[in-house]
Structure 1
Amino acid sequence: MSSDGSDYDEGRKKSRKVSSTALIPTPASAKNDKPFSMQPLLETLDDVVEYDDFPLEELIDYVMPELVNERAALLAKQSQTDAHGQALRPLTRSEVASMLAAAEAGPGGSGEWVVSQAIAIRKLKVTKDRRRVGYPESSSTNKFRVAASSSTEAMEMPASALTSEHTQTVINALGAIRATPYENSFLARLGGVPTGVDPPGLVSVDWETVTPWMELMSDVREHFSLSHPEREPPFYALSPILYTALHPWHLNQVHDLLERAFWTGIDVRDSLDYSPERCTIIATYGKLVVGVAIMSSPRETYITYLTVRAGWDNARIATTMLYHLIALNPHQDITLHVSANNSAMLLYNRFGFKAEGFVAGFYETYLDPLSRASKNAFRLRLRQH
């Protein structure tokens, strides 16, 4: 034995290492996992101190920064991002304990909670018990999350915004609703609400035309009334087909309709810059765009697009739009190209358009290779002077 007692100290360290090892109990499902041991922490402390009289405060000051950093890294690893981009993390043990302590008396010390709060408290207790026995937490028991930047100070359970009396009042009010007013209904969003004011750029109003889609909807309403005679028939406001100039609020539906009828990538926003009151006709039923007719400009008078929504064809909508385009541009020749096998050729012939030439492969770069439409086109002209 040396005079400085180093052998004695080494023996004490070894015996302390053996006797100080502690294991955390694990559930049966985790028996094969490696048990958690305090040995690394004790070895770290042994590397720092040489005598038993080393102050505990200094030991804590030495290891605390590393423990805090490890804890922050663990919380950051467990955090998730919600749909709003807010980082959320699971509740810590202290937060769960503080919330349960605040929930013991209930709101105002009454000890009573609404059903949703009672369920939340029960789940918090289950989470606490699972952690206490070291049982692995499942996703269903770890749904309570707070902002990742939140501190671990004690938090209170949120109080119910409505009392039982208020809740019953709301339920009674909801039960008293028999029909939604038309101006507040989803149908009004589709069909529009009559205002008595003509829309800007109005060309004509058609109350007489009945399209296949309108007939189908009428049959659906009639069938519903016959099948449910005890119910009040649904309110339906008839709307005319309006023919107006192109406006910015039409663009989304116009682009969708043109892409369905022709090809993708069509953009007609520039038509708003070239006298749309003379070169565009948009047919609408309520707020639904059912037909589009567009001319390039008042100088060129070249018809670029003319189409009608499926279910609204065979109702003279295309005829009406073409008529208004011609009427708005008198004393000028009007030209266009039409696919060689397009039935619209008959419509143009009725208005006096004559074929001036045949262009092979005119639509080659536009039409899909699997399209049934002919890639060849006729060039038509309507002479008005």
Structure 2
Amino acid sequence: MSKRRTAVAITVAGVVSAGALAAAMPSQADPAPTATDVVGVGSDIIQNSVDFLGDGYSWSGGSLPGYNAAGNKNRLISFSATADGNGRNSFTDPALGTSVKLNPTIVLRAGTSPVQRPNGGGAGLNALVADGNPTNGGRISFVRSPNKPTSAQSTPTHPLHTIQFADDKQYIATATTTNAPADLSTADLVKIYSGTWTTWGDVAAGVTPGAHTGETIVPLLPQDGAGVQTIFLNALKAANGGTAITLGGAVQKVQQNDPSTITALPDATRKNAIVPFPKGRYELLGAGYFHDPAPVYNSDSPSAALSNAGIKLQTGASNFIADIPYYIVFRESDASSATAWQPGSTLNWVETLFYNADYDPDDPDPGVTPPFVASAAGKAIIESIGLTPLYKDWANTTTG
């Protein structure tokens, strides 16, 4: 029998227009969440969509507010995967010598000590498990991940619940001027990333005899702990008859979803580099959402927008493509909690934001409040950044 739990309606209205992201300004930061705020960590590629769901964004001539704009006592806080809002790792100041990559930390709750910032969906899921349950820690409320938790992460004793709120696509990115053929299939990538094929001459389709056939392929792969790495390797495993590939010695690990992993390479190397890249991040870069952090901040003269210039996605029908599900993972105990989250509401935080068991998107009951991700305002935000809204309950399903 349905619980038929209802809540005080929270209305967030806004204006959506084509190309709205072109002048969007970042709204996320690193606040110190209170004990009753909802805190998320995890995937780099999913972080921007959850940032927008929480805080919205604005541009000249219009705005699209997020959940927190309603002025509720308790907030949705989504921490970036890496130390800056552009989704990249931080480094020591080059003025003090050779730059060294740092291991960024984060204060998950006000008054607690910093901990390592989870970078990627897999790292976020591990952090959620290590964080314990509400009676034993519980500083992390949810995780952004393009992969479901494993059976080792979601156990019968402490089950994790997964919902999908959107879908993205993963393609292969190359330099705009590249020696790579126009078509690289999943089967081709199995041979390239396993080290069986090392030059473009080994890739028969799409290569003109004598043109760059001797050039060495530079296969790049997102860093360990990144959910998009798992998405890519799982696709290669499926194309390899269900057997996981052993990475070849030429494969280099790089920061996920960053065009400079290709564009910053020397010319000869850049033309031979390939890397899995999400369509959603590519479009956000093309829309000018991210800005160059190098200049000193000046609100009267904003820094130049970063872009996807210098790279392109291989999107032809015969090319590699993989779905990137946008999952939110939380404790089953939070989904079933009887504790109301906002004053004046009867819904817990999971029901308010991500999943209400009584809400059926195919047959909505006017007496049941949809979670924010499935509301008209939430779906408008998801669609405006080039994603497909998809409200789907996976319950305690795991990857194995």
TM-score by length of 1: 0.20
Greater helix fraction, Structure 1 or Structure 2: 1
Larger relative contact order (CA 8 Å, sep ≥ 6):
2
TM-score by length of 2: 0.20
